[in-house]
Chains A and B, each alone.
Chain A
Amino acid sequence: MRVLVCVKRVPAPGAKINITDDGQSVDATNLGHTMSPHEECGLELAVQLVEAHGGESHVLTLGVTEADEQCRWAASIGINKATLIDVGTQGWDPQRTASAMTDAIRAIEEVDGGFDVLIFGNESADTGGFQVGIRVARALGRPMVNAIKGVNISAGIDGENTVLEAQRETDSGMEVYKLPMPCAIGVKEGITWPRYPTMRGRLASKKLAVDVAASDAAPGGQTMVRLNRPEEQVSETIILGEGAAAAPAVIELLKELGLWSEGTSKQEVGA
């Protein structure tokens, strides 16, 4: 089985996200970089699929030269190959990004063979455009479902792995999709538990040859003007008290909000 995972390098902010003076990006001074938790789980899923079914996993990213770091992280947990589309910025719009990634996937598939599964994060941690994976899948003519939290590969009548059962979490349970492969999924955190790199993995990641590609994709119709910090509704926190002695004040608040019913005893609730 051949599996591709797409990831995006993003700053790892602390308790507050600062913006550069020109409003064009997050001020990443003194910040490390990472990827969305959705994508970390996607990498783990790719490694697990190849462990279970054999084959090869490949990570693809688009951004700055330093996104090499995310490719090597992927290799350190077991991803086999990496391609970085170096466009010198993290700021390409969704249509342009999707177009460049579609071209890159076609180029990889021409050399190495088609992918059975394309894995994307449900949305990127920073810009959150909710569309790049869907656009890529459509351009490649493959089915795609987003918000997936469980997968199961099953054999078709010819004994080959041909159907990817994808479970999508809803408010009350799961929707189940059965996608004919090759297919694409957008995954959410929780689909896997990402492993930590082993010493052997770290060594392998240093030796990884990251394939660097370029792109001449044309800009799409959405242009960022600047980033702003939303106005925070600054409300003075009302301290209701300290320790157990604050309970009556909390119950008063619950009554005010209509969330406290005197008549309900613990026994009735448990019955």
Chain B
Amino acid sequence: MRRTAVLVAVIVTALLLQTAVFPQLTLLHVKPELLYLVTVIFAVLLGPGEGAVVGFVSGLAQDFMLNMPKGITALTLTLLGYTVGLARQYITSPSPLLPAVLVALGTAGGVAFHQVVTFLLGEEEGPFSYAAKVILVTAVYGAVLTPIFFPVLRRAAAATQAGRVVRF
């Protein structure tokens, strides 16, 4: 129950920030992908299984706000959460920059995957140059925002794990 409440609070907050705050704070007219950031950080902290679940729920929430076939973002973030969680198990670097790097790479890969699936489903969304710009800028923006959001999300992740202690 507590886990569900924390997860819902995190996702709703991310959606509100994404739709009502960050449209005023764009970088080169591009908004950050906060739900990608949430998914990657949860996957880094809690592993591939939890990463996939958080990704699926976050993606579905974002899909419900879009005017395109639903499920594409859920699919993207499920795979992203699982992949990042799996990769994290094999990375031993103690660098404090690791979460930011993983958010940048995960966001870039996730947005690119989303665009490919969208294209394959016949929902073309513009020229390649624009997609490339969005991929690059959201990756950089995500990395910049990670130091701000990481401590908050680490506490949220810890709250979802009753009786377990998360150390990173």
Do A and B pair up? The answer is no
- List residues of chain B with CB under 8 Å of any chain A CB: none
